[in-house]
Amino acid sequence: MSSRRTTVIVGSLVTASFSAVMILPFTASADDQGPGSSKGGKVVDQPPKGVKLTTLLPSRISVDNSSHKTAITATVKNDGTKDSGTVNLLVVGFDGLKVNSVEGCSAIADKDLPKGSNSGFSCAVGNLAAGKSKSYAVDATFDLGKKGEICLPVQTGDGKKTYWQQGPVPFGTNDHSPNAPATPLLLGTDNKPVAPGGDQLPKTGVGRDILPLGAAGATLMAAGAAGLWWSTRRPTARRLAG
């Protein structure tokens, strides 16, 4: 890779260079996830007229209490009347939720992950026709002793604009059942720790109110519960090269 690009996040900050494709086998089932939801999503940069991009996450997931494995379906949609043009979907995990693989997508190198995140993948969606959607199978693990969040930005193919971003949005439950085979988690719910008598979640990762951007030396600005907003300054294609 000939050069680094910087990614500015309103509410958080991220550098996003992508490594070679890494596709792993899936071990968790994504069945019975309930209806898709765009909860925690907002428009960042205005898309072209007639293009309306959103993402969907399941309203509930299930975490295996022995293996901590879970599966999530991430969907990007174009509800507009015109084709989207080339777009990419990012899938990024935070805190107790770690994304192990996303079917057909490229892993973000550890050194290039957003501050505070533990994993991430980039999916080359391509051109999404009006009224069409594309779904990706996400294989993940969830540490029930922590809160866990996921973030789905939708960027232009050159990475210069972010048309939509969902999250970071939590999955969680207040009612753990450690003796049951699995624990159901609901989208938009902060997870409570498994430890008996625990009143607060342990702090994990880097705080997302104010963070340095490494070489750029920029700072983050808190943007409330909606969190992390991406915009980029140099083509994604360069990040994928090499």
pLDDT digits (tens, 9 = 90+) for 170-229: 999 988 888 899 999 999 999 987 655 444 444 444 344 322 222 222 222 223 333 444
pLDDT, greater one: 238 or 133 = 133
The confidence score (pLDDT) of residue 58 equals 98
Closest CA to 87 of 145, 36, 127: 127
* Beta-strand relationship, 133-142 and 36-37: unpaired
pLDDT, greater one: 134 or 9 = 134
The confidence score (pLDDT) of residue 27 equals 35
pLDDT, greater one: 94 or 174 = 94
The confidence score (pLDDT) of residue 33 equals 74
Residue keyed to tokens 């050069």: 3
Across the chain, mean pLDDT equals: 75
Cβ-contact 185, 135 below 8 angstroms: no
The tens digit of pLDDT for each residue in 55-93 reads 999 999 999 999 999 999 999 999 999 999 999 999 999
The confidence score (pLDDT) of residue 210 equals 25
Name the DSSP class of 14.
B
The confidence score (pLDDT) of residue 115 equals 86
pLDDT, greater one: 113 or 38 = 38
- Where do the domains of the chain lie, and which CATH numbers do they carry? 7-240 (2.60.40.10)
CB half-sphere exposure, 135, CA atoms < 13 A? 9
Q: Quick one: pLDDT band at residue 32, thresholds 50, 70, 90? A: low
Q: Indicate the pTM of the whole model.
A: 0.71
Rounded to whole angstroms, the Cα distance separating 179 from 158 reads 48
Cβ-contact 176, 194 below 8 angstroms: yes
The tens digit of pLDDT for each residue in 10-27 reads 333 333 333 322 323 333
Closest CA to 217 of 1, 15, 11, 2: 15
